[in-house]
Amino acid sequence: MERKILLTDCPDSTGLIAQITNICYKHQLNIINNREYVDHASGQFYMRTELEGIFNDHTLMLDLDRVLPNGSHRQLVGAERKRIVVLVTKEAHCLGDLLIKTFDGSLNVEIAAVVGNYPDLGELTEKFGIPYVTVSHENMSRDEHELAIAEVVDGFEPDYLVLAKFMRILTPTFVSRYASRIINIHHSFLPAFIGANPYRQAFERGVKIIGATAHFVTDDLDEGPIIHQQVIPVDHNFSAADMARAGRDVEKTVLSKALNLVLEDRVFVYGNRTVIL
């Protein structure tokens, strides 16, 4: 008995759930959990099906292909632990949370390596027996630096890249190399305060709530599909520095939560939105 997850993403049509679950039924696979969503505006169908049984992947896929419309994507995902590379700069809170959660098993992931453009977080990373590679951007063009990072990253063959307060803007070239595989945490409540020093902007506007947004990275750096968001209340007693400090707990919680959703194959992207199933 194995457990696998069937992910279906296709144009909607009548009877899709019946047809797909019918095939699972014929394969004597038990549906542990099934969630689907239809976006009526775009006419797109999304389904995540947790299955248990003895799998014949090849014939299952063939059977599905017979009933699914043209332009369908379907994928059968096993239970293997996924690998990530974490990109950092100097701030420890997001990385620290990922390290602790991986260490105590509450995040089911292998951190293959941590890559930083400064050496600051090497000491913390190596406490956990994880390789830390410093790729300084000094005396390098942006393109050269990204290429150097990409070479290091690719050596570790990660499923996903996690930007844990990596404070460099990525070029479309780098982003497209890892399309839909880069997860970022954005300080402050996106897209309210884009640009430098968002907590300063939030402070000057006198906001009463701050937050963080985890999203996939697209060309438009802080505008990719949102995976998870969370907020906390602040008040006039908070300086910009206080807001940044208070924001850190939210940032790390949101990033970990978003990563967990991705690791459990719950996140579908369509256009600039996500469906979480």
Among positions 3, 7, 37, 67, the unique one binding a second copy when judged by CB under 8 A: 37
Q: Kindly state whether residue 235 participates in binding a second copy, applying the rule CB under 8 A.
A: yes
Count, residues near a second copy per rule CB under 8 A? 69
The string over 224-259, giving b where at least 16 C-beta atoms fall within 10 Å of a residue's C-beta and e elsewhere, is: bbbbbbbbeebeeebeeeebbebbbebbbbbbbbbb
Q: Kindly state whether residue 197 participates in binding a second copy, applying the rule CB under 8 A.
A: no
Written as one letter, the residue type at 167 is M
Among positions 231, 242, 263, 265, the unique one binding a second copy when judged by CB under 8 A: 231
Q: Which of 12, 159, 222, 242 is catalytic?
A: 222
Nearest to 185 by CA among 271, 259, 125: 259
Q: Kindly state whether residue 92 participates in binding a second copy, applying the rule CB under 8 A.
A: yes
Among positions 159, 249, 264, 265, the unique one binding a second copy when judged by CB under 8 A: 249
Q: Kindly state whether residue 69 participates in binding a second copy, applying the rule CB under 8 A.
A: no
Q: Kindly state whether residue 34 participates in binding a second copy, applying the rule CB under 8 A.
A: yes
Whether 220 is catalytic: no
Report the C-alpha dihedral over residues 175, 178, 183, 187, rounded to 10 degrees.
-20
- The CA R_g of the chain, rounded to the nearest whole Å, is 21
Provide, rounded to whole angstroms, the least separation between the CB of residue 192 and a second copy: 5
Among positions 204, 219, 220, 241, the unique one binding a second copy when judged by CB under 8 A: 204
Q: Are strands 182-187 and 209-216 parallel, antiparallel or unpaired?
A: antiparallel
Q: Kindly state whether residue 263 participates in binding a second copy, applying the rule CB under 8 A.
A: no
Name the residue nearer to a second copy (CB basis): 110 or 120: 120
Provide, rounded to whole angstroms, the least separation between the CB of residue 103 and a second copy: 7
Report residue 204 CA to chain centroid gap.
31
Segment near a second copy (CB under 8 A), from 54-62, 74-82, 153-161, 186-194?
186-194
Q: Kindly state whether residue 211 participates in binding a second copy, applying the rule CB under 8 A.
A: yes
Q: Kindly state whether residue 140 participates in binding a second copy, applying the rule CB under 8 A.
A: no
Distance in angstroms (rounded) separating the CA atoms of residues 13 and 201: 47
Report the C-alpha dihedral over residues 12, 18, 21, 27, rounded to 10 degrees.
-120
Q: Kindly state whether residue 106 participates in binding a second copy, applying the rule CB under 8 A.
A: yes
Q: Kindly state whether residue 209 participates in binding a second copy, applying the rule CB under 8 A.
A: yes
- Residues of this chain that bind a second copy (CB under 8 A): 14-15, 17-19, 21-22, 24-25, 28, 30-40, 91-93, 96-97, 99-101, 103-104, 106, 124, 127-128, 189-192, 204-209, 211, 223, 225-226, 228-231, 233, 235-237, 245, 248-249, 253, 256-257, 271-276
Catalytic residues: 222
